[in-house]
Amino acid sequence: MNDKGYNKASTKRLLGWIGLICLLLIIPIKVIRFVDEPAATTWLVGIAPSVLGPAGLLFLILSCSGRFSRLTLPQATMFVAFIALGLEFVQLLPRPGILANVYYTFDWIDVFGSLFSVGIGYFVARLMIQSKPGDHKELQ
C-alpha cells in the first residue's frame, strides 16, 4: 500500500469519526432541552444542533465509499447546505395530523448557524484533504 492510499483512507476514516461525533453530540443537547429548563433557554443550546448537524453530515458524506463518494468537496458542501436549509425552512410549513402536536420553531439564527456550520465544515475538510500546501486534490 502506498502512502497516498494510506493517507486517503486514514483521512476518510478521520472525517467519518468527526462526523459521527458531531451528530452524536446532538443527542445530549436535545436531552438538556427537556431536562434542564434554564439551560434550554440559552442561545448555545438552542443553536447547537443547527451547527453540529450540517458539519457532521458533510464529514460523513466525505467519508463514505458509496454513491456520494464521487462528489467533489464543493458539490458535497452544496448538497449539505441544500439539505440543512431545507430542514430549517420546512419548519414553516403547517404539519398535518399527529405532527401538528410536535413543537418546532423556525429561527433565523438557526439558518445562519447552519450556513456557518457548512462553511466551517468545508474549510476543515479542505485542510484535511490537502496533502501538501497548495495541493487541492479531492478524496477520490
Series of mean pLDDT values for 10-residue runs along the chain (140 residues): 60 94 91 74 80 95 88 95 93 81 80 96 93 52
State the pLDDT at residue 85: 95
Torsion of CA 13, 112, 82, 136, to 10 degrees: -50
State the pLDDT at residue 140: 52
Please report, for the chain, the start and end positions of each structural domain, with discontinuous segments joined by +. 3-129
Torsion of CA 136, 19, 22, 85, to 10 degrees: 70
Convert 95-130 to b/e letters by CB count within 10 Å (16 or more is b).
Answer: eeeeeeeeeeeeeeebeebbbebbeebbeebeebbe
State the pLDDT at residue 138: 54
Q: Is the pTM of this model over 0.95?
A: no
